[in-house]
Amino acid sequence: MTAAPVLSIRDLRVSTTGRAPAEILKGIGFDIAPGETVCLVGESGSGKSVTSLVTMDLLPQGELQVTGGSVLLNGEDIMTATPARTKTLRGAEMAMIFQEPMTALNPVLKIGLQMDEVYQTHRKMRPSERRQAALEMFASVHLPDPPRIYDSYPHQLSGGQRQRVMIAMALALRPKLLIADEPTTALDVTTQKQILTLISELQEQQDTAVLFITHDMGVVADIADRVCVMRHGEMVETGTVDQVLAHPSQPYTQALLRAVPSLTPRAPRPGTEGPAVIEVRSLEKVFEIGSLPARLLGRVPHRVQAVDTVNFTLSRGRTLGIVGESGSGKSTVARCVLRLEDPTAGEILIDGQDIARLHGPRALAPARRRVQMVFQDPNRSLNPRLRIADSMIEGPLNLGESRASALERAGELIEVVGLPRASLRRFPHQFSGGQRQRIAIARALMMDPEVIVADEAVSALDVSVQAQVLELLAELQAKRDLAILFITHDLRVAAQICDDVMVMRRGSVVEYGPAAEVLAHPGDDYTRALLAAAPGREWDFAHGRRLAAPA
């Protein structure tokens, strides 16, 4: 006998409020059985997250409203339940893991207090029992030293540890339904694999139904039982993971799968004989933690060797990828090259000039003009109060260019990255994530640089938008003979855009060479472990075929 579904959604419709309401969800429906994982996939704006918010009764009041349909949790309709009832159901019967734990966790409260609130709200337990239950739950999600975690603040934990805390909170009361909204997007491949394995283990133990929202097809291939593809608020295709990945029936699904970058490195490009634009020699960076209080108390500050004797060169027209786990030193190397951090030792040569010992904006201005950065999150790098035109011309104006000249170049460059000139009059919030990243690239090009440093510049983008941004970078590189230093934890992206790859671990370089060699024939155990952890590695998504039987 087939078990009754834990979650059953029928003809769900959601619209914006106001005089001219727009339909966000257009009659979608699906079921999730006990112990089953259903993946919702689709581009930003497809309605994936709105579906989860309706299920949790967390729709923003006054902005969105349910206009039709039903959401049944174990047969109980969430749409007709009172706010008090849905509050009781959250945590006890259904729970959610959000994409960014730092926005879900209170930064001024210790982890233990936040975990304690879960038990205090839903269970009658003594304080000692709540603490013991929390410690046991932390241990069950493989957090090291649970008492230390209990007494820590969120900022004192790594990204992977914070996500494990969120999973512990979500599963503390053994809910029947777990909703995971992009919980591994910002994590490196090994931490991602650990989190996915953990969710799978706990699901098997508790027979939990899982609704997993993601744009990563590799993750879908590894964890899904069934897949629902959404577009513009509609369900365009649904089926088992093998049906959807190997035999997609809809052009939209086929296009999504074609956009997934392959783990097979691209064919090597001819090398550049010219001199290096960047040459890094024996670079070191040591951070001293708590140095001022330690000195005041006569103690030796704690030293962290973030970068240890790193060497590499980068020529015009070439792309060097730096890959590794969080904390490996990738971004610290990039920040030292840009002189956003002062290196402890070593040389950083830009067109033959060592900038490692230069200080002050005036001394560093020429080098900074030649090397520009595209950050991971354009929401943070673009001033929300400035129009796009003002953000783009800020750098040239500081270097003495006239406003008229800078605005003319801004109009030309915004068109180069595929946006209309009228975009200059708008604000950042009026663009999609992919469009904002194009604007960030155009702003970097305003300084007419020789080198672009891209720090996780496509990690948070949908696969189709990611493919567009990578194609744009390749076109700009070819036209302008740019050198690109590409920081990423996504080995699929590295395989498709990089000429050379440098693998870092704990501040040191463990492997460095042509991408085709490092990624296809890794010589170091750590590189092999990174590749083994890449999700969906047994699938060729573009051709809809499984390369190897699932492990």
Kindly report, residue by residue over 116-168, the tens digit of the pLDDT.
Answer: 998 988 888 999 999 999 999 898 888 888 999 999 998 888 777 888 888 88
For 155, residues 6+ apart whose C-beta sits below 8 A from its C-beta are 102, 107
Q: Which domain holds residue 36?
A: 7-259
pTM of the model: 0.80
User: Tokens 């993946």 identify what position?
Assistant: 39
Sign of the dihedral through C-alpha 466, 188, 538, 496:
positive
Residue 142 in any domain: the answer is yes
- Assign 540 a pLDDT band (cuts: 50, 70, 90): confident
Mean pLDDT of the region 520-546? 88
State what percent of residues in the chain have pLDDT above 70: 95
Q: Is residue 341 a contact partner of residue 329, using CB atoms and an 8 Å limit?
A: no
* pLDDT above 90 coverage of the chain, percent: 36
Is there a domain that residue 398 lies in?
no
Check whether residue 239 and residue 304 sit in a common domain. Answer: no
Is residue 341 situated within a structural domain?
Answer: yes
Asked if the model's pLDDT at residue 551 lies above 50, the reply is no
**Res 502: pLDDT:** 95
The answer for residues whose C-beta is within 8 angstroms of residue 136's C-beta and 6 or more apart is: 146
* CATH number, domain containing residue 528: 3.40.50.300
Give residue 291's pLDDT band: very low, low, confident or very high (50, 70, 90): low
Would you say residue 316 lies in a domain?
Answer: yes
pLDDT interval class at 289 (50, 70, 90): low
Q: Are residues 85 and 211 in the same domain?
A: yes
Same domain, yes or no: 83 and 54: yes
Pairing, β 76-77 against β 64-73 = antiparallel
User: In whole angstroms, how large is the CA radius of gyration of the chain?
Assistant: 25
Q: Do both 289 and 339 map to the same domain?
A: yes
pLDDT digits (tens, 9 = 90+) for 497-509: 999 999 999 889 9
Q: What residues contact residue 383 under an 8 Å CB cut-off, 6+ apart?
A: 390, 391, 428
**pLDDT score for 550:** 46
Q: Which of 380, 355, 382 is nearest to 366 (CA)?
A: 355
Bigger pLDDT: 460 vs 403: 403
Give domain status of residue 433, yes or no. no
**pLDDT, tens only, 412-456:** 999 988 889 999 999 988 887 778 888 888 898 888 888 999 888
Structural domains counted in the chain: 2
Contact criterion met (CB below 8 Å) for 441 and 476: yes
**443 phi, psi to nearest 5 deg:** -65, -40
Nearest to 487 by CA among 329, 381, 377, 344: 329
Are 320 and 459 found together in one domain?
A: yes
Task: Report the pLDDT value the prediction gives residue 302, as an integer from 0 to 100.
Answer: 66
Q: Write out 314-342 in H/E/C secondary structure.
A: EECCCEEEEECCCCCCHHHHHHHHCCCCC
**Helices vs strands, H then E, count in the chain:** 22, 22
* Residues 255 and 287 placed together within one structural domain of the fold: no
Please tell me whether residues 374 and 508 are part of one structural domain. Answer: yes
What is the number of alpha carbons within 13 Å of residue 443 lying toward its C-beta? 27
Which are the contacts of 86, defined by CB distance < 8 A and separation ≥ 6? 56, 57, 78
Q: What is the mean pLDDT of the chain?
A: 86
